[in-house]
Structure 1
Amino acid sequence: MKLVFLKPPIEDFYQTKIRLQPLGLAYLKAIVKKYFPQIKTKILDFQQGYPAKTIPYPKEVAYLKNYYFPTDKSPFSTFHHYYHFGADYEEIVSKVKEERPDLVLVSILFSPYYREALLCAQKIKEILKVPILAGGTHVSCAPLSVLKEEYIDFVIYGEGEKPLTRFLEAYLGDKNFTQVPNLGFKEQGKPILNPPEPNFPLQDLPWPDFSDFSPANYTLRKKPIAFITCSRGCVYKCKFCSVKTTFPHYNLRPVEDVIAELKTRYQQGYRIFDFEDDNLSFNAKYFSHLLSALAKTFSGQDIECVAMNGLAYFNLDLKMLSLMQQAKFKELNLSLVTLNKNLAKDLSRPLDLKKLQEVITTAFKLGFKLIVYQILGLPKESLESIVKTMSFIAREPVLLGPSLYYAAPGSALFNPRRKDKDHFFMARSTFLDTEDALISRDELYSLFILARIINFLKGFKLVQHIHLKELLNYPGQNPRQNLGLTILSKLEKENLLSGYDGKNYFPIPHFSSNLWTFFKKESSYLTTLNNKKIFLGEKNV
């Protein structure tokens, strides 16, 4: 028997190339190899390593043509084209056919890309007539909506390792699927959804099987990157997050097991380790143990550690940050979300501004590069409140990480009300969907561009504090800075943001110059990444 795991292509305005390693499928491959060594397995990644292909805008978001300009070369431009990232469907069917599978498992990880995954399943089914099983985060959010498709035979929701092994036992045996936990199947065409059971203990899972991956295909700064998790789940109950739909409980792996896996990854050629945990730093004792073990094990080795999924700042202090530095962390991605205390409480989101400021100050002194993330367009948050949080981040020597809000399927805030709207498909930041927000689409778009302006100014390597008016008269340090300064000068004089197509400037009509003025007044200054102030008001204060 042969089982093919399939990672589909996606379609959007952008993809994050450095975060495409299919870790979940590697876990499933490993569990199959452990319990069913007679079954041949193959992971086919149809997203990574393929050129992006420009495709038409989906009809649902034709309005975005008024916001995204394909010819804009300015530092403040947003997105340019809508793309198909990955193999085309004919190639997918052809390569799957070459494997001659007896069963195909299609990963539907993110809800907005469920259409691409289902189209893969449909086209494979039309040619190969093999059973198709779907799993992933989207399936966990809406298992029956996937199972209803005629070309989907089975679904697994929640954590997949134990359900997959139980499913394969039944599949290879009497075909009685009624006792398989977390499984959806069909009986005489009727969808049946079995109740869930706890997964195998995290410490008992085999390491993800990377044997189908080439380290050269997954890189960060031209170095092979390996994804790893020390935990699953999160103790927090943020209403905008859907992690508990798939991982309802917080579980930790033994540090020794993590280190042993990383030593193997190093031997396989990986030099950057990305901890994809949802809350890596929550357990201070565990995190400290992990960092000490990393520092000891890889002392003198050419590695780097990152946590691109972000860190909670509450347990970070001088001791912990120093340990992170010894463990080869160079960057910190800190999640703030909002400074609005009432909103944070309503969202069940912890907030400790004093602690965050202490962490930023300490980390900056130690030499960390910092990004602080804010969610733009949260339900019930006013424009004034959003700008207040943005101004706080602007005044710190950190980059601003803008996350445009969308209602994540599976989260407490996901409440599809309109039958004429595909809420799964629309659940992405690039679509500027403000149905649940207090602010308008133009305001959300303007905030996104404002974040780019802020980060542009933060990138100047200044030798002293300076007023924006003076900076605009200075030559930039490269052509990009020159262009950005010219556009900002025009914004100051004309109250209109311009784009640039390589020859001519053109207006960006949906950007609010009033928001730029309001931000300057609210913030009064911003701080560059080398800790110099750029004053924004009438006076240097």
Structure 2
Amino acid sequence: MAPEPKRVLLLYTDKYYLVKQVYPFGLDLIANHLRQFGHYVTIEFPFLPNADPESNLKEILERTDPDFIGLGFRNLDTTMSCEQYGEHTGPGYKTYYFFPELKRLVQILRNHRSEAPIIAGGGAFTISPVVILERLGIEYGIVGQGEEPLRQFLEAFPDERKISDIPNMVFKYGDDFHVNPVRSYTFQELSTLHHREEKFNYAYENAGLPVQVKRGCNQNCSYCVEPFIEGRRFIFKNQGEVIEELMTIAEKHAGVKTIFFVDTEFNLPDLGYCSVLVKEIMKSGLHEHFRFSSQFLPRPFDHAFAKLLAEAGFAIILTCDSFADSVLEKNGSSYRQKDIIETIELCEKFSIDCTLALIFGLPGETYDTINHTIRQMMYYTPNAFRRYEYTVGGRIYQGTPLCHFVEQQGVDHNLYGKKSAGHIEPYYYCSPASPMKLKAYIERTLPFPTIYQNKFDETRQQTLAISYLVDQNRWHEATARYFESDLTARASVYDYLFRKLVDSDRTEAARDISEHLLEALLQSKKSAENKDQVAVVQYYLSLLPTSG
């Protein structure tokens, strides 16, 4: 007999979405899997549309009436030690730390839906599951891939014996917690996403849509947690299934123009699988519909592969933690400066858009190695196709080579932040000085320092709130909030709101928001600066049929 369908609420708890719109891909995979077995699944973001998560959660709980609540923990912090606007500070560092907000979410859920079991999961959870459950007062969690374990949990609950047999499960066992062995993952037919969560359409159109083609990572980078989350063994999705998924996206999501392959590194373990996939993309004509992007290592990467990427319109984010071989070697990198330079030059030769991602301050870093890296950055200076992004200091996570290095070191030299159980609180290694001092040194020395606009602000909150309501077809609430928002927010979200209103045959509402914005722009003290925006609004108005 088929199990009784359950109502499942999956909460995307990453507040950083308000700064950088990365949609909950993992939760979407889980929701897709559970729906295949008849369960009713809703994905929600508790920090929108209102600034107060309690008011959002109360509305969500009343509307969804869940039997089970899943919490997806993507990040506990931003991993960055020099956040200009960070609220979590200490000697030599400044960052965002989200765990206190997660505790508040759990408390709100307990207050308003105490009878519903809560299950934690996600990348951040997998790193330190027991400590997180203890700190949050939750009894259940899932490490690693959660699609099938969560399905089994829904059908097993409340039978503790059955729950204890589920792979990847973390559960209360007496006064402690037990972590079950992780089951090896395999791509199955049910793992292909034919439907994406529409509440995050704004993120798809502005930040790109993630597509997964493999899982696993065989690298040994000192600071990285991916091998723990993904596993060290590579599991590949059939290229034909990837093409089918991309074709579905092209058909159902006309506004999506960028696809981001969310592999740990696209060109691992070799160029075989990824080269075939890129050729299939071109063969299907998808390269004329989308722009593609992914993370890459400097090796393996050769002339033929670069030419292929250029023809398919790929942009690459190149992991190259340092140009100093001594630092690369000490931190387990599988490439050296020679490989980085060869890849940079190939990207330049074929006009491939390339963002180089570096980390200053890892073990082995000195002012000499920093200066060496900066000299290489200045030699391969930013241009139309090349840019640099860097962070300072390595975030120490439980079980990583960097964590082992710090523990073996046995002293507090070059350590910043708080050493906590499971390393769930911000904790950094940074050499040869504190993160903030090193950041200041780099900014003085480098003509083009990286500036991160990672600020939570009211205007962005308003913009995202309106788009979030639009993506749920809550038109009355979206337009009402639009008229209440400040001019900057209205101008920011206008294009998106206008297009969605027109697409849904709400032309009079589209006219109303356009005329309202046009009047405000013309009356603004900055009317001269608003000239281009005024022209856009006037053009959009001209596209609408004459009223009456």
The answer to whether the superposition gives a TM-score over 0.5 is yes
Identify if the C-alpha distance between structure 1 residues 456 and 349 changes in structure 2 by more than 3 Å, giving closer, same or farther: closer
Q: Tell me the CA shift for residue 286 of structure 1.
A: 0.7
Summarize the alignment of residues 87-236 of structure 1 with structure 2, pairs less than 5 Å apart. 88-112=53-77, 113-129=98-114, 130-149=116-135, 151-171=137-157, 176-187=162-173, 190-208=175-193, 210-214=195-199, 216-219=201-204, 222=206, 225-236=208-219
Kindly indicate whether residue 15 of structure 2 is the aligned counterpart of residue 10 of structure 1.
yes
SS of the aligned residue for 2:228 comes to helix
Identify if the C-alpha distance between structure 1 residues 185 and 93 changes in structure 2 by more than 3 Å, giving closer, same or farther: farther
Identify if the C-alpha distance between structure 1 residues 452 and 253 changes in structure 2 by more than 3 Å, giving closer, same or farther: farther
In structure 2, the partner of 1:29 is 31
Question: Does the CA contact (< 8 Å) of 2:168 and 2:183 recur in 1?
Answer: no
Q: Tell me the CA shift for residue 9 of structure 1.
A: 4.4
Summarize the alignment of residues 405-424 of structure 1 with structure 2, pairs less than 5 Å apart. 405-410=393-398, 411-414=400-403, 421-422=419-420, 423-424=423-424
Question: Does the CA contact (< 8 Å) of 1:97 and 1:128 recur in 2?
Answer: no
For 1:105 and 1:209, the matched residues in 2 are separated by 22
In structure 1, the partner of 2:426 is 426
Question: Does the CA contact (< 8 Å) of 1:399 and 1:455 recur in 2?
Answer: no
Question: Does the CA contact (< 8 Å) of 1:231 and 1:252 recur in 2?
Answer: yes
In structure 1, the partner of 2:357 is 373
Summarize the alignment of residues 273-422 of structure 1 with structure 2, pairs less than 5 Å apart. 273-282=259-268, 283-298=270-285, 301-307=288-294, 310-329=295-314, 331-397=315-381, 398-410=386-398, 411-414=400-403, 421-422=419-420
In structure 1, the partner of 2:228 is 245
Output one character per residue of 1:191-215: Cα deviation in whole Å (capped at 9) or x when no partner: 3314213244124552236443246
Give the counterpart letter for 1:7 in structure 2.
Y
In structure 1, the partner of 2:544 is none
Q: Tell me the CA shift for residue 50 of structure 1.
A: 5.3
Aligned pair count reads 405
Q: Tell me the CA shift for residue 383 of structure 1.
A: 1.9
Question: Does the CA contact (< 8 Å) of 2:10 and 2:44 recur in 1?
Answer: yes
SS of the aligned residue for 2:109 comes to helix
Q: Tell me the CA shift for residue 183 of structure 1.
A: 1.2
For 2:196 and 2:387, the matched residues in 1 are separated by 37
Question: Does the CA contact (< 8 Å) of 2:49 and 2:56 recur in 1?
Answer: no
Q: Tell me the CA shift for residue 373 of structure 1.
A: 1.8
Hey, which bits of structure 1, 4+ residues long, moved more than 4 A?
Answer: 172-175, 415-423
Q: Tell me the CA shift for residue 440 of structure 1.
A: 2.8
Give the counterpart letter for 2:227 in structure 1.
K
Question: Does the CA contact (< 8 Å) of 1:234 and 1:243 recur in 2?
Answer: yes
Taking only the aligned residue pairs, the percentage that are identical comes to 18
In structure 2, the partner of 1:41 is 41
Q: Tell me the CA shift for residue 278 of structure 1.
A: 0.5
For 1:149 and 1:278, the matched residues in 2 are separated by 29
Identify if the C-alpha distance between structure 1 residues 273 and 354 changes in structure 2 by more than 3 Å, giving closer, same or farther: same
| TM-score, length-scaled by structure 1 | 0.69
Identify if the C-alpha distance between structure 1 residues 232 and 300 changes in structure 2 by more than 3 Å, giving closer, same or farther: closer
Between 22-31 and 266-275, report the one with greater CA deviation.
266-275
In structure 2, the partner of 1:81 is none
For 1:302 and 1:121, the matched residues in 2 are separated by 42
For 1:450 and 1:240, the matched residues in 2 are separated by 26
For 2:425 and 2:443, the matched residues in 1 are separated by 24
Between 437-446 and 413-422, report the one with greater CA deviation.
413-422
Question: Does the CA contact (< 8 Å) of 1:141 and 1:409 recur in 2?
Answer: yes
Summarize the alignment of residues 510-529 of structure 1 with structure 2, pairs less than 5 Å apart. none
Which of 440, 449, 465 pairs up with 2:443? Answer: 449
Between 2-11 and 255-264, report the one with greater CA deviation.
2-11
For 1:142 and 1:268, the matched residues in 2 are separated by 38
Question: Does the CA contact (< 8 Å) of 2:418 and 2:426 recur in 1?
Answer: no
For 1:339 and 1:354, the matched residues in 2 are separated by 9
SS of the aligned residue for 1:176 comes to helix
Give the counterpart letter for 1:5 in structure 2.
L
Identify if the C-alpha distance between structure 1 residues 94 and 50 changes in structure 2 by more than 3 Å, giving closer, same or farther: closer
Question: Does the CA contact (< 8 Å) of 1:294 and 1:327 recur in 2?
Answer: yes
In structure 2, the partner of 1:502 is none
In structure 2, the partner of 1:82 is none
Output one character per residue of 1:506-528: Cα deviation in whole Å (capped at 9) or x when no partner: xxxxxxxxxxxxxxxxxxxxxxx
Give the counterpart letter for 2:19 in structure 1.
Q
For 2:336 and 2:185, the matched residues in 1 are separated by 35
For 2:364 and 2:340, the matched residues in 1 are separated by 23
Q: Tell me the CA shift for residue 288 of structure 1.
A: 0.7
For 1:281 and 1:394, the matched residues in 2 are separated by 27
For 1:286 and 1:363, the matched residues in 2 are separated by 20
Identify if the C-alpha distance between structure 1 residues 7 and 319 changes in structure 2 by more than 3 Å, giving closer, same or farther: same
Identify if the C-alpha distance between structure 1 residues 191 and 445 changes in structure 2 by more than 3 Å, giving closer, same or farther: same
Give the counterpart letter for 2:13 in structure 1.
P
| Aligned alpha-carbon RMSD (Å) | 2.9
Q: Tell me the CA shift for residue 164 of structure 1.
A: 1.5
| TM-score, length-scaled by structure 2 | 0.68
For 1:209 and 1:352, the matched residues in 2 are separated by 40
